[in-house]
Amino acid sequence: MQGVEREPSLGPEQIPPDQRIPNDQLLRGASAVEVIGAVRSWLQANFPPPRSVRVQIAESEEDIARIEHKWRRLAERKGLPRSQGDIDRNVRAARLFNEVVLLPQVLTEFGGSIWQRARAARTLAHEWWHISRLAEGSFPPFEEGSADVFADLALRRMTGFDASKVGFRQYPKQAQAVEALLEVFGEPWLFESRKVFNVSFWLERSLLEAGYPPSWLSKL
């Protein structure tokens, strides 16, 4: 057999639009890596994190193994068991300190349909929220709910698509609670949570200042 023609890859203009995503311009890159770059730059420009963050792309098993090897040493240096550098192959994104690695499933989506690209962009936004947090090594209240709210907010501004209504949310109940707090305190408050060193303390203080009694806080 000769002259096996390579299937032409879709140019940015040829990817069919998705009627659910009003503005897909940012997602129309020619390759997955290009789209990740565009989304990452957009996040950096619109929601600059208070510390440097590192987004890595694992294209293959070799990539994952290489990053894993590095992470195991990094974990050890920080006084953690080596196994904390392990990367589970079923995750979409793994995070260690200020580094996040996107696994092949997410990479494939970034090069897929507009819908898949939007979903992958939401995953990156979700992780962006976590790695933007200055307070390392803690488990603050509402961390996942606020990541959900942020991911929706970012995707809405990026594409005009309201993901909060379609079941993309991982933690709908906690996200609703965060939205209720947002109504009380406003958006800048939400972003303050990335800049403080002790999120629990900061949350408690802002609630007390807003007049919520300590008895209410103990339920958090």
Partner 1 sequence: MANTYPTVIGFSKGFAMTRFERHQRFLTRGVMSPDIAEREAIAQEVRRQADFFTGFSEDEEALLREIWSDLLNGTRELVFAKTSATRRMIGTGD
Which of residues 168 and 186 has its CB atom nearest to partner 1 in the complex? 168
Q: Which of 56, 98, 105, 176 binds partner 1 (CB under 8 A)?
A: 105
Q: Which of 81, 198, 205, 210 binds partner 1 (CB under 8 A)?
A: 81
Name the segment binding partner 1 (CB under 8 A); options: 41-49, 53-61, 79-87, 152-160. 79-87
CB of 209 within 8 A of CB of 202? no
Please tell me whether residue 139 binds partner 1 under the rule CB under 8 A. Answer: yes
Report the phi/psi class of residue 186: left, alpha or beta, with left for phi > 0 and alpha for psi in -120 to 50. Answer: left
- Please identify which residue in 3, 167, 188, 214 interacts with partner 1, judged by CB under 8 A: 167
Least spacing, CB of residue 177 vs partner 1, in Å:
12
**Helix orientation angle between 114-131 and 32-46, rounded to the nearest 10 degrees:** 40
Nearest to 137 by CA among 46, 200, 180: 200
Contact 98/53 with Cβ under 8 angstroms? yes
Dist. CA 33–CA 77, nearest whole Å: 31
Q: Which residues bind partner 1 (CB under 8 A)?
A: 78-81, 84, 88, 90-96, 105, 109, 116, 119, 123, 126, 130, 136-139, 143-144, 147, 167-168, 170-171, 174
